[in-house]
Amino acid sequence: MLWILLTISAYLFGAVANILDKFLLGSKRFSSAPVYAFYVGIFSLWALFFAPFGLRMPNALGLTLCLLSGVIFLFGILLLYFAIGKAQASRVVPVVGAVLPLATFLISLPFKAETLSFFQILGILLLIFGGLLISFDLPLRLGKKKFFSGFLYAVGAGILLAMAYVLFKYISQSENFITWYVWTRVGGFMGTLGLLLVPTWRQDIFKSFHTHRKNKKEALGTGAIFVGNKIVGGLSALLLNLAFTLGSVTLINALVSIQYVFVLILAWYFSKKYHKIFSEKLSFWDWAQKLIAVGIIAVGIFLIK
């Protein structure tokens, strides 16, 4: 089935983007998560190239929601970058993946005017359990740190991204794709200006300008990886949207666990060469714990749809 091939390819590209995020942050190519988020927000203005193909000015409410959702999305990925910078990508990505559909479902629930079914409640419990399972260092011991570093950032990222996606969906019902896509990206750019309001973040961002000018060769390499990363992420989104047009949205979303497995494999592979960046544990029980958690999350996502 073509939709299955498209889905697997989309999640593979998504995993590569996650690994490149970890590499750029872990190798200090970008000195901090706010600096990285700043450049991502600036890069989002490339969406203006779509303007001649149907961009229009929404009404006041529509424009406000577009810009607001873009800002929320930027701060969501900022928290994601904080988490990826502090922890193993193979832990962060599944936790965000578990929180995202759970938060989306709960945020949307008041607008659906319906009660939860038994299977939806079961799915919510499985998402929570799977997210916690991949977060814990087993076996649990008294006095031992229970969650991985960056866990709360990952949870916050999932919640903010869910809020942004719910708004994206709401806006898309009254605006054409080009209009809401471009204006939400403009909102993301506005979010980068908000990053400058925090003194330490502003200092890091301005310092990055000087650092990149000082070492042009490294800056070019970093820029190439960054642009390549955004292209790969864009391909992932494109292939996923194509898959949605051909197959079951529920099944495609449930298959997101494939991306987590790809992240785990890629992180393990790159940990051999870049051990300080990808400090993945390689014992049998670590692999078993992560794969079992991924499976539980996948079932949970399937049940709440």
pLDDT bucket at 147, cuts 50 / 70 / 90: confident
pLDDT in the model for residue 211: 66
76 has pLDDT over 90:
yes
pLDDT in the model for residue 198: 92
Q: Where are the domains of the chain?
A: 2-304
pLDDT in the model for residue 287: 75
pLDDT in the model for residue 82: 93
pLDDT bucket at 138, cuts 50 / 70 / 90: low
pLDDT in the model for residue 286: 75
257 has pLDDT over 90:
no
CA 7 remoteness from chain centre: 17
pLDDT in the model for residue 248: 67
145 has pLDDT over 70:
no
pLDDT bucket at 280, cuts 50 / 70 / 90: low
Tokens of 143: 């006095």
194 has pLDDT over 70:
yes
31 has pLDDT over 90:
no
Range with the poorest average pLDDT among 99-108, 149-158, 181-190, 197-206: 99-108
Residues in contact with 64: Cβ distance below 8 Å, sequence separation at least 6, in sequence order: none
Closest CA to 34 of 87, 69, 82, 67: 82
pLDDT bucket at 156, cuts 50 / 70 / 90: very high
Cα gap 267→263, rounded to integer Å: 6
pLDDT in the model for residue 142: 47
Range with the poorest average pLDDT among 78-82, 224-228, 247-251: 247-251
225 has pLDDT over 50:
yes
